[in-house]
Amino acid sequence: MKKRVRYAQLVFWALPLAGILPGVVQAAGYPVMRPVEIKSAAHLKTPPVDVTVGGRVTSDNNEPLPGVTVLVKGTTIGTATDANGNFSLTVPTGNETLIISFIGFTTQEIPVNGRTNINISLVPDAKALEEVVVVGYGTQKKSDVTGALSSVSAKQIEQIPVQNITQALQGRAAGVDVAGGNFRPGEAPSIVIRGNRSISASNQPLYVVDGIPLAEGTGINDFNPLDIESMEILKDASATAIYGSRGANGVILITTKRGKEGRFSVNYDTYVSLDRAAVKLDLFNGGEFAELRRQAYRNTNTYNRTTTASRNSNFAYPDPESDFRLFSADPYMWESVAMGYEWVDQANLVPRMRPATAEEQARYGVAELPIYDASKVRTTDWQDMALRNAVTQSHQLVMRGGNDRIRAAFSGGYLDQQGIQPGQDFKRYSARLSLDYNVAKFLTFGGALNTNLNVQNYGGDIYGKFVGQLPIAVPYDNEGNVIQLPGGDINIYNPIRDVDLIINERRSTRIFGSFYGEAKITPNLRYRLNFGPDYRQFRRGEFQGALSSNRQGGTAWARNEQNQNFSYVIENLLYYDKKVGADHTLGVTLLQSSQKDRAESINITASDFPYESQLWYNLGSSNRSGPENYGSGFSTRTLLSWMGRVNYGFKDRYLLTASGRFDGSSVLAPGNKWDFFPSFALAWKVQEEPFLQGVNFINELKFRVGYGAVGQSSVAPYQTGGILGRTPYVWDESPAYGYAPSGQRLPNLRWEKTSTLNAGIDFGIFDRRLSGSVEVYQANTTNLILPRALPTVSGYSQVTQNIGATRNTGVELALTTDNIRRPDGLNWTTDFIFTKNKEEFVELYNGPVSDVGNRWFIGQPLGVYYDYKFLGIWQTDEAEQAKVYNREPGDIKVADLNNDQLINNQDLMVLGSNRPKWSGSINNTFSYKGFDLTFLVYARMGQLINNINYRPGLGGRYQGIQFDYWTPENPSNEFPRPIRNLDIQTYGSSLQYQNGNFVKVRNISLNYNVPQILAARLKASSLSVYVNAVNPFLFTKFRALDPEVTDPGTGSADIAQARGLSTKSLVFGLRVGF
Amino acid sequence: MNIKNKYKALLLIPFLSFGVFSCKDYLEEELVATLTEDYYKTEQGVEDLIESAYEPVRNKFQYEWAYTLWNFGTDEFTHADQPTHSYYNTYDTRLNTNNGVETFVHDVWAANYAGINRCNTGLEYIPTVAGVRTLTTPLAKTQRMAELRFLRGFYFFQLVQQFGMIPLPLSSTQGVQTEYLRAEVPEVYRVIMADLKFAADNLPAAQLQVGRATQGAARHFLAKAYLTRGSAVTDQRGQKPSDIDSAAYYADQVITATSQYTLENDYARLWDLSSYTNGVTAEKSKEVIFSAQWNNDPLLAGRYGNQTHLYYIMQYDNEPGMVRDIANGRPFRRLMPTDFAMDIYDRKNDSRFYKSFKLAFISNNAATIPKWTATNAPSPDLVGKNKFSVGDTAIYILVNTPQTAVSQQKINQARYALYPRYYRSSTGQLESAFASRAKYPTLVKFLDPFRQSVAQQQGVRNGILARLGETYLIAAEAYGRKGNYAKALEYINVLRQRAAYKAGEAKRPEYWSVEGGQRGDVSNTYSQIMASEELFTTNAASERYPTGVTSPQDRFIHFILNERSRELLGELYRWEDLVRTETLLVRAKAFNPDATAIQPFHKLRPIPQEHLERITINGQPLTTAQRQEQQNPGY
């Protein structure tokens, strides 16, 4: 059997490899793209002599450069080099001058001088290092940036194949904490920039796609990560303040790939990813579980036979008659346990006996023992049944090109991700079109349209339910029928049919546009109009078949929920840029913006259907007189803003940015809707100072300091007027719905404000062998919008108020070292990223006084774990002491903080939180002759995880992780003794808080860029293949699956158990460009 | 700017006008799908607010607190084998220390106070509303205000009995309020009396809508409140000598209003589950004075529905020939009757015992019907044949006595699974099949076969909060406390007459199969159970008086508690009755085998931790000492 499995695995791993090939052939399809020749005979002024000039353009290390523009000076005659760097063009006289230009290289002018063959070597442009980065409402030279920002390039995104954009940011930018909430296909991890600051309001950053701020809560899961050209993360308030009320949690600017002037190109990217569970739970096997249950009975003196005289003895060894009582609720479970014994007569429970050893005689007081071997007890590996080896494939086609009038790009993407739990998958179909059109010299129009369809089979909590099954139970009886209750426990229902019978399909469509018109009014003054419509349609279809473990043989149940959202942003922008004299540069930006989100929803829930194939598509077929539930909803919210910004530079050394923004929001109370958010930042480029001119080892040294205020108003609409909630009641048999006060009036609800002081240094030394930046910051959030818990005597359980303050203080370090830079092409660079953020309450409504009722503690982060402190297990020699606390040896020992010999709520304490003390990553890149090897190691340290798996069923009733429980013979200090009927022991929750430190090798990737000469044979301009191991290694002491899931939740055990199920993958990919 | 640029600038005008809106209107919130408090300024709004004020009366039946707070830890019931919240039954340390962690008590606390705030809000809005349809006259408004005063009194009454000293908010909550210190118990009772009195004076005898508070309901609770206050001996409830008279007076008023309220002729009719329609009829019985209302529409069930059906059912679904179904219910196995509950009845002649308990389960699963084997078949030809068929008895719970203990052999050879209260094991030891706590008599009063699916927890039946049977007992107790035993017995015997098998009534089969009666006997059994003064003037064995209960006055209190058990067993009054009569400690110790850890302070529940953490004194959160002050002693 085992061999067969291994063979099957081999076949499994081999199949997709074969699958790649057809994919390549299909996708490549050899579209033959010729370089566009930009010719125009109409401009010829001298009679043509028609000299043909040819040649080859290479880089300084002799690599041919394709796509280089070769232009005859003063004309529009031109061409571009082919894949081998060769060009050929016809010039009128042979005395012209050629202009050779290519992005990233210094443009050269070469007189032809009658030559017909000219080989040109281009040198990289030093100014190319002068990277241009996107900042809010504009772009800036990186060296001129005054705020704190991190950039992530398309190349970095491509390095690890990811299914969504957020994943691509993990370990890439200092101060950005990305944590997977769960690893279900189609779910995006959460992202927090420089810690949490808000309690009720969102801590998600603002996403700005091609200049359009996305509507709140919509996320970027709908966008294809491969469509992204670059991402900039604005972290401090001096950078984000221009987004005013939206920038409180940082801003992520996303620039998508657009058409470029130059040759038309086609790029095709694909990968196949083979995914498996990265970590699994260590569960009890059959023999171990049977012993756990026995022990639970023994500890309550109930492991004994019922029908014989020895009723009061409590067998310390496995006894068939007692076992029969414990395990016969399901005959198949009994069969599993019975396999552990040798039988004389199994029907009458007569085991074969063996003489007891002297030690056993002393211990058990018997001369003979039944022959029993725990390892022979049958084990069903339910966990294995809940997992599969999944395949993900992605295809992405990008076509772009353009000339001086029109630039266009089109891309289409397809992602098909299978979940490692059966019944879960995710498909994304995306298409994107962008166009930029220079209508006239002073006028440009353009836009981009993203469309996508996501289909997510959310599925049931397959894994959680399967790992909850008893290892001694089996899913099917001998006839192959499903056993409803394997193990005969009414609370453990067989989930084996759930894959087919629990369906939760989420289908979302999004059409997102970003359009603009830009006019140059004077050489210094530009006007730009942005318009960003965003339409989203979401449908959640849920179905639970009658025989699913959720319905347990009742009636089928289904829900159809639809949400429709439309948001738009309209922005009017004026830019004024002027250089005054030699020393002064001035840039002014003015903005007026309005934004509206509109949401509408409808849902119906029904049950009891004549035929289950209808899923949620014919809810009217219910046998009931009506639906179980239905409803619809509507809301809008609007935001209005005015903003101004000044950038001033003096001698290119001293830079100043100052901005101010007025924001008004509809969701806040009348009279408190508007607020002002100012910012300013200073930068000093020290390397430009005369006194450093002679110091050669310093390439860059810049000091920055910035201050800014941003706001937050993410409260739900319509909260300020004192909302009512509907209550159900009945007069006799007729409805008597009432309306009760459910939220108090909030006449004072205003903006939550965060002001950040940030100081940073950017540096590059030793010929930029060592470069990086250091940031320190403190962000103070005041007027916190708090859902403050109220004494329920008031009739309300909470109220939203602006009270209190939080503070985030941190250090960020990003360092790049150029370890090896050899002329033969061997390069090794290392990127270090380190983030340390401290999040704390500074003040609450009573000043610096903790609010225990809300679990808010001054000096502690938001959302701490507050519980008894687990000290271990009461040991046999501590019986006396344990008795003081009404405990017995084997019970959980918790700290008696005030030593009053009583464990009560005064002994609860802050145990920690799920916020890491620090996190960091190291990314190494080696490159040599077309090979790139990178590996990224990521670490999160100092977080506590609240995980229900650590509070296993100790009643001997439920399966759990293979914990080391206490018995008199095994004085464990980790887990208490099992007690029948007591699944959650007293202070059981204190077991749940576990250190979640981990180090993860996120990625090892080997990429090979096929030499262009070889690629050219395939008529391709570039070709690379890669193999990538994603999440191959995890180092942690944490035992309940992946500690990256810092908040698995404690609500339902099924969900909590499934949450930490992460994947590791082996990815094979191909990128080809034409 | 030159001319050309000016011309270009003109192009911008349409864009600018496209982008700029009038600031004021753009940020205004227009209410479309949402209601705010302004709705209460309308007549419909106020009516809806009043309806919402009724909703928390459901709370008592909604979740596991139903039995933990009202029946656990008493003489009547103890915990069965699924021991969720069993510390409310055992009073062990978990009860004293877990208040910081579990939110259980707080849920009940919050629901009652939510009701109180709705009442307070309504009382303020009703006078200001201009009525067009329902609130057109001052009388109509007064009646609605009386409903709210009734409900407010009801909620305070519920709270004070569980928690003792409590905050006493009497106006609607405006703004953020956190200063809620507790009022003395006598003060709380003064408010309760005033509210219920106002309600009794102003409510109509009958309401158009079944379920609204009536004059009778107000009088019943007023009588009960007076009795509760007047019962105090060592407790300080602000008791007055006149309380007992008032209790008798208001109870009498309900009893004599015969056109409104009459006892059902047959005790079993109160729990008629033969069909949904019959169930609804029973819920509207003239015996029912006030109840929390539900029906079988899941949309109206609320989050919980009435979940009391789950708790009393024994484990039947693992037995051969049985499968869990809607009719038999979900066996949560939380409560099993104590010996006291089974023995306080004259089970032979008082029909209430067998009419209160379900002892037989009828086979509903052909697949698992057991077969006779050589060892247990009564005759060899039966070996290998089914013991019974679907529709036959599959399980029988036998409530016998040690004297009538059956043999192990009889159990083995029974056709159905037999679980006797007493049997002799093969070695001759006296054993009980109830010892496992999984098999025991199942109380029928809350069963709910009208749910839509087996798994559905939201029950559809009403929860009775007051019925005339109890009013009789209130009256009887009041007169008895005044020493008028004859009058007390008059009321008790009305109930006993109803409890007896009537002439011509087919008796329960146990009458002859267990209790030694004659099969086919259809005579009236009232003469056997007619109550007389000897029951409490002497130490009557049938009444099982705890040691130390010796005076006729004391015995009468215990006798009336016994009678309350016989009439109201399991109906979620018991814990309060024992606290009210200051007998919790002695009776829990005497009759509940598990309540060994009970201490005097257990007569009050812990004040919820959430409350103590959230309130302030002069704007400051409470210090540890202050918290302890606001907490009930012992917690």
Question: pLDDT (tens digit, 9 = 90+) per residue, A958-1004?
Answer: 888 888 899 888 898 989 998 887 777 888 888 889 998 999 998 89
* Measured CA distances, B582 to B203, B466, B591 (Å): 33, 22, 15
State the nearest Cα–Cα gap between A847 and chain B, in angstroms. 10
B96, B169, B317 ranked by CB distance to A793: nearest: B169
pLDDT on residue A188: 73
* A chain contacts of residue B168, beta-carbon cutoff 8 Å: none
Closest to B168 in 3D by CA, of B239, B240, B116: B116
B9, B23, B211 ranked by CB distance to A640: nearest: B23
State the nearest Cα–Cα gap between A608 and chain B, in angstroms. 9
Residue the block writes with tokens 């812990």: B606
A1 contact partners, CB below 8 Å, separation of at least 6:
none
pLDDT on residue A534: 93
Contact B167 A309 (CB under 8 A): no
For chain A, the 3-state helix, strand and coil shares in percent, each to the nearest 5, are 15, 45, 40
- Indicate the pTM of the whole model: 0.78
Contact B48 A488 (CB under 8 A): no
Read off φ and ψ for residue B307, nearest 5 degrees: -95, 5
For an interface test with B, the pick among A746, A793, A800 (most B C-beta atoms closer than 10 Å) comes out as: A793
pLDDT on residue A312: 46
β-pair type (A993-995, A1063-1073)? unpaired
Chain B residue with minimum CA distance to A532: B19
CA distance B444 to B447: 5
Contact A731 B211 (CB under 8 A): yes
Q: How far is CA B533 from the centre of its chain?
A: 31
pLDDT band at A1011 (very low <50, low <70, confident <90, very high): confident
State the nearest Cα–Cα gap between A593 and chain B, in angstroms. 7
β-pair type (B430-431, B423-424)? antiparallel
Q: DSSP E strands: which ranges in A523-556?
A: 525-544
B51, B53, B294 ranked by CB distance to A737: nearest: B51
Q: Residue B57 corresponds to which tokens in the numbers above?
A: 């009366």
SS3 A303: coil
For an interface test with B, the pick among A442, A607, A665, A739 (most B C-beta atoms closer than 10 Å) comes out as: A739
Task: Give me the residues paired with residue A427 across strands.
Answer: A416, A455
* B chain contacts of residue A442, beta-carbon cutoff 8 Å: 8
Contact A849 B620 (CB under 8 A): yes
A488, A594, A792 ranked by CB distance to B21: nearest: A594
Q: Which helix (H) or strand (E) holds A368?
A: strand A368-370
Question: pLDDT (tens digit, 9 = 90+) per residue, A295-327?
Answer: 888 888 778 765 443 444 567 888 888 888 889
Closest to A1039 in 3D by CA, of A1070, A1060, A1014: A1060
Contact B611 A792 (CB under 8 A): yes
Q: Is B32 exposed, middle or buried, given 0-12, 13-18 or 19+ CB atoms closer than 10 A? A: exposed
Read off φ and ψ for residue B545, nearest 5 degrees: -60, 135
pLDDT on residue B303: 86
Contact A732 B210 (CB under 8 A): yes
pLDDT on residue B243: 96
CA distance A561 to A542: 8
- Give the number of other Cβ atoms within 10 Å of residue A500's Cβ: 12
Closest to B334 in 3D by CA, of B63, B60, B605, B67: B67
CB A117 within 8 A of CB A55: yes
For an interface test with B, the pick among A530, A607, A663, A792 (most B C-beta atoms closer than 10 Å) comes out as: A792
DSSP, residue by residue, A28-86: H-----PPPPB--GGG--SPP--EEEEEEEEETTS-B-TT-EEEETTSS-EEE--TTSE
* A chain contacts of residue B33, beta-carbon cutoff 8 Å: 632-635
CB A290 within 8 A of CB A333: no
A519, A571, A796 ranked by CB distance to B173: nearest: A796
Residue the block writes with tokens 């439309």: A566
pLDDT higher than threshold 50 for residue A13: no
β-pair type (A251-256, A206-209)? parallel
Chain B residue with minimum CA distance to A523: B5
B33, B55, B620 ranked by CB distance to A846: nearest: B620
Chain B residue with minimum CA distance to A552: B455
pLDDT on residue A1049: 58
Per-chain mean pLDDT for chain A: 83
CA distance B463 to B307: 10
* Measured CA distances, B376 to A492, B127, B383, B406, B409 (Å): 32, 77, 9, 16, 8
Chain A residue with minimum CA distance to B610: A853
Contact B51 A729 (CB under 8 A): yes
Question: pLDDT (tens digit, 9 = 90+) per residue, A451-477?
Answer: 999 999 988 888 888 988 999 999 999
Closest to A333 in 3D by CA, of A470, A482, A492, A479: A470
Residue the block writes with tokens 């700029």: B20
pLDDT on residue A41: 42
* A chain contacts of residue B45, beta-carbon cutoff 8 Å: 739
pLDDT band at A927 (very low <50, low <70, confident <90, very high): confident
* B chain contacts of residue A795, beta-carbon cutoff 8 Å: 113-114, 116-118, 120-121, 172-173
The listed range with the strongest mean pLDDT (A122-131, A432-441, A895-904) is A432-441
pLDDT on residue A17: 38
First to last CA, chain B: 82
* Measured CA distances, B618 to A789, A850, B178, B295, B622 (Å): 18, 16, 9, 46, 10
pLDDT on residue A49: 61
Residue-wise burial string across B467-478, b where 16 or more C-beta atoms lie within 10 A, e elsewhere: bbbbbbbbbbbb
pLDDT higher than threshold 90 for residue A1021: no
pLDDT band at A34 (very low <50, low <70, confident <90, very high): very low
B48, B302, B614 ranked by CB distance to A789: nearest: B614
pLDDT higher than threshold 50 for residue A653: yes
pLDDT on residue A36: 37
B284, B300, B614 ranked by CB distance to A728: nearest: B300
B117, B284, B610 ranked by CB distance to A795: nearest: B117
A635, A666, A801 ranked by CB distance to B28: nearest: A666
Q: Is B420 exposed, middle or buried, given 0-12, 13-18 or 19+ CB atoms closer than 10 A? A: buried
- All residue ranges of chain B with pLDDT < 50 are 1, 14, 17-19, 99-101
pLDDT band at A93 (very low <50, low <70, confident <90, very high): confident
Residue-wise burial string across A338-362, b where 16 or more C-beta atoms lie within 10 A, e elsewhere: bbbbebeeeeebebeeeebeeebee
Contact B297 A793 (CB under 8 A): no
Where residue B329 falls (left for φ over 0; alpha for ψ -120 to 50; beta otherwise) is: left
State the nearest Cα–Cα gap between B29 and chain A, in angstroms. 6
Chain A residue with minimum CA distance to B179: A791
Chain A residue with minimum CA distance to B45: A739
State the nearest Cα–Cα gap between B542 and chain A, in angstroms. 34
Q: Is A1063 exposed, middle or buried, given 0-12, 13-18 or 19+ CB atoms closer than 10 A? A: buried
pLDDT on residue A307: 44
Q: Residue B440 corresponds to which tokens in the numbers above?
A: 């025991």
pLDDT higher than threshold 70 for residue A1042: yes
pLDDT on residue B4: 55
Chain A residue with minimum CA distance to B7: A521
Q: Is B375 exposed, middle or buried, given 0-12, 13-18 or 19+ CB atoms closer than 10 A? A: exposed
Contact A638 B619 (CB under 8 A): no
pLDDT band at A285 (very low <50, low <70, confident <90, very high): very high
pLDDT band at A10 (very low <50, low <70, confident <90, very high): very low
Which value does ipTM take for this structure? 0.92
Q: Which helix (H) or strand (E) holds A643?
A: strand A629-650
First to last CA, chain A: 49
Lowest pLDDT segment from A423-432, A823-832, B412-421, B586-595? A823-832
- The pLDDT of A61-71, averaged and rounded, is 74
| Higher per-residue confidence, A947 vs A412 | A412
Return the half-sphere exposure (C-beta side, CA atoms, 13 A cut-off) of residue A694: 1
For an interface test with A, the pick among B13, B39, B51 (most A C-beta atoms closer than 10 Å) comes out as: B51
Task: Give me the residues paired with residue A206 across strands.
Answer: A251
DSSP, residue by residue, B319-356: STT----TTT------EEE-HHHHHSS-TTTBTHHHHH
Question: pLDDT (tens digit, 9 = 90+) per residue, A368-389?
Answer: 889 999 999 999 999 999 999 9
